[in-house]
Amino acid sequence: MIDPDSELEARYRSVTVTPDWYQTNIPCQVGCPAHTDVSTYIGLISQARFDEAYLLNRKANVVPGVLGRTCAKPCEPVCRRNKIDGKPISICWLKRAASDHREYRHHAECPPVTKDKKVAIVGAGSAGMACARDLRDMGYPVTIYEQYPTAGGVMVNGIPVWRLPRYVTTEECDEYMADIGVEIKYNTRVGRDVQIADLLKEYDAVYLAAGCYIPNALTGPDNKVIKGADLHGVIDGIRLLEKTNYGEPAFIGKKVAVLGSGFTAMDCSRTAIRFGAEKVYIMYRRSKEEAGSDEYEVDEAVFEHVEFNYLVTQLEVTSEDGIHVNGMRFIRNKLGDPDASGRRRPVPIPGTEFEIDVDTVIPAFGQYSDVSWLPAEELGLEVNKWGVPLLDIDTWMTNHPGLFAGGDFTQGARNLISAIGDGRDAAGAINRYLGGVDKPAEPAEEVELPDYRRGMVDNYESIPHQMLPSLELKDRYSHTRETETGYTPEQAVIQARRCLQCQLNIMIDPSICILCSGCVDICPYDCISMEGLSRVVKADPMHEDTEDWRGGADMIIDEEKCIRCGLCIVRCPTDAISMVQFEVASPNSRWTVSKIPVINVN
């Protein structure tokens, strides 16, 4: 039979390869809100080129040393390495390695001021600094108004020192902003020391990136504030971290209940251990599967003897003297139908009430934005029911001309990298509003690599994933000593060599392919197949001239399975197969696959 697949249904549809296709074919970069060029910086680390990897990171995510310790890691669950051994590339921890093991300090050059319009930013957190950096690169003079004595926002007032040393935030926030010429007015609260209306008169554009710092109320199953919520010994998680991070007096007792399961709850529980608590409970109303923190954070807390209790909801904070906490009552739950968040709703089970003895209660239910300083009525702002400004999401601008907003202030409490992505998008929108034009995109290029091994070692497929080295338990009882010690340079290089380098693609030249099936036979993951023309949807762009063919075949490559091993290149008798590196830069370089040569590793 000329076409053995002729009786089978069409299964494949060919598409014309565009930059968009290549971009979506790099899953880690798709998963990163800042679109960090992950594959290239991991490739640089695999060659111990830590300084280049650090600078490449800083282009995209502004604070690589910070994120290498604290990122929520949305890139890692989608990493294709998961499909080989169930463990992703340690993208986050390798970012830290690039920061830790670089040879030079890398003070940034100050971009010249080339624009005659000024921008003010409210808040020197993730979104504010990302917006400021990109606007400075475009030539705008930028001033940030910051209520705290340091830049960094939640990096400093919300993340414990034992997770994120302050020499890292000082370098990447305060000093970096100073290097690039961003003026920061510290200890300046907008709405008290300066008014939004005055900023709108003085500046050509104003960006609100004030963060999300007001803790949600301590409520029970009926969503009403529970009895005892105002007792001494009840302190909101975000307030506790702020106090301990800035060295202010903070009371943490011997028996502590932390309410919630997100990153703040994990940080509060482990901070309590370091401040002398003898017993710490995590109390969460849903199951472990619905919890907001990742598995690593939970495992670290368990290692430090934090006790987790799931499917329980608080009913009352109890007190013997009516002043101080001495216990807390809960009720057990079962899971009902999904609620608006998509998670199953906790349903109290009557008759399952119980009480625990505690002297400190730390609610960590998340935060919402403080809008008390924003004169919405005076400015004629359109706001939602919480008073947060409404935005045109394409322009990041409110209905008041020249007033922009973003980050967690408008989007709700999320994570650092998402806010950084918002800030960078807002910078481009502000530039366009002020009459600027986007930095043009670079045309996509496919560069054939003369060394098809592109710097990889032979055993990369079998290199095991290594957890990040940390202090032993006996050495963790310090609020100022960093708990995670990080990869050594040698460990970082080895872990980076696990990367499949998804910006590389196998290409088959149809003009010299003889359909011998050698590549199909040798492929270790069966990602190359030969399919009869009848299996391809007719009249698609690449097959419009094959309608009258009696037979024929297509070579199909499954990008999800390909590990870029290059065995097909070796096997091909006609040299029809090559390894191609995709290189591109989108407008304003918001999505870039860098043109950095990959050298061979001997």
Q: What is the pLDDT of residues 402-419, one digit of tens each?
A: 999 999 999 999 999 999
DSSP secondary structure, 285-310, as one string: SS-GGG-SS-HHHHHHHHHTTPEEE-
Q: Which of 166, 169, 268, 216 is nearest to 413 (CA)?
A: 216
**Tens digit of each residue's pLDDT (9 = 90 or more) over 423-473:** 999 999 999 999 999 999 888 788 887 766 655 677 898 999 999 999 999
Q: Provide the pLDDT for residue 458.
A: 77
Domain segments of the chain: what residues?
Answer: 26-105+452-470+482-497, 119-212+369-434, 217-366
Least confidently predicted of 201-210, 443-452, 539-548: 539-548
Q: Do domains 119-212+369-434 and 217-366 have the same CATH topology?
A: yes
pLDDT(2) > 80:
no
**CATH of region 119-212+369-434, choose from 3.50.50.60, 3.30.365.10, 3.40.50.1360, 3.40.50.1220:** 3.50.50.60
Q: For the domain bounded by 217-366, which CATH number is listed?
A: 3.50.50.60
The three-point CA angle 499-502-504 to 5° equals 115
Output phi, psi for 206, to 5 deg.
-130, 130
Q: Provide the pLDDT for residue 32.
A: 96
Mean pLDDT in residue range 342-367: 95
- Identify the burial level of 466 via C-beta atoms within 10 angstroms of its C-beta, where 0-12 means exposed, 13-18 middle and 19 or more buried: middle
10 Å Cβ neighbour count for 187? 11
DSSP secondary structure, 204-229, as one string: SEEEE-----EEPP-B-TTSSBPBTT
d(CA 486, CA 102): 14
**Tens digit of each residue's pLDDT (9 = 90 or more) over 253-304:** 999 999 999 999 999 999 999 999 999 999 999 999 988 888 999 999 999 9
Tokens for 321? Answer: 């003297």
**CA separation, residue 307 to residues 225, 283, 290, 293 (Å):** 25, 9, 17, 15
Q: Provide the pLDDT for residue 599.
A: 54
Measured over the CA atoms of residue 151, residue 155, residue 160 and residue 162, the dihedral's sign is negative
Confidence of residue 591 (pLDDT cuts 50, 70, 90): confident
- Contact indicator for 232, 148 with CB cutoff of 8 Å: no
The three-point CA angle 377-382-387 to 5° equals 75
**Mean confidence (pLDDT) of the chain:** 92
d(CA 593, CA 586): 9
| DSSP H or E segment with residue 98 | helix 91-100
Confidence of residue 602 (pLDDT cuts 50, 70, 90): very low
Q: What is the dihedral of CA 34, 121, 247, 257, to 10 degrees?
A: -60
Confidence of residue 534 (pLDDT cuts 50, 70, 90): confident
Q: Which of 388, 599, 595, 434 is nearest to 503 (CA)?
A: 595
**Tens digit of each residue's pLDDT (9 = 90 or more) over 4-61:** 666 666 667 777 777 778 888 899 999 999 999 999 999 999 999 999 999 999 999 9
Q: Provide the pLDDT for residue 5.
A: 62
Q: Provide the pLDDT for residue 3.
A: 59
- Contact indicator for 48, 54 with CB cutoff of 8 Å: no
Least confidently predicted of 90-104, 485-499, 550-564: 550-564
**Tens digit of each residue's pLDDT (9 = 90 or more) over 291-330:** 888 899 999 999 999 999 999 999 999 999 999 999 999 9
- Cβ burial 274-310 (10 Å sphere, 16+ → b, else e): bbebebbbbbbbbbeebbbbeeebbebbeebebebeb
Confidence of residue 1 (pLDDT cuts 50, 70, 90): very low
**Tens digit of each residue's pLDDT (9 = 90 or more) over 131-190:** 999 999 999 999 999 999 999 999 999 999 999 999 999 999 999 999 999 999 999 999
pTM > 0.85: yes or no: yes
Looking at the chain, the whole-number percentage of residues with pLDDT higher than 70 is 95
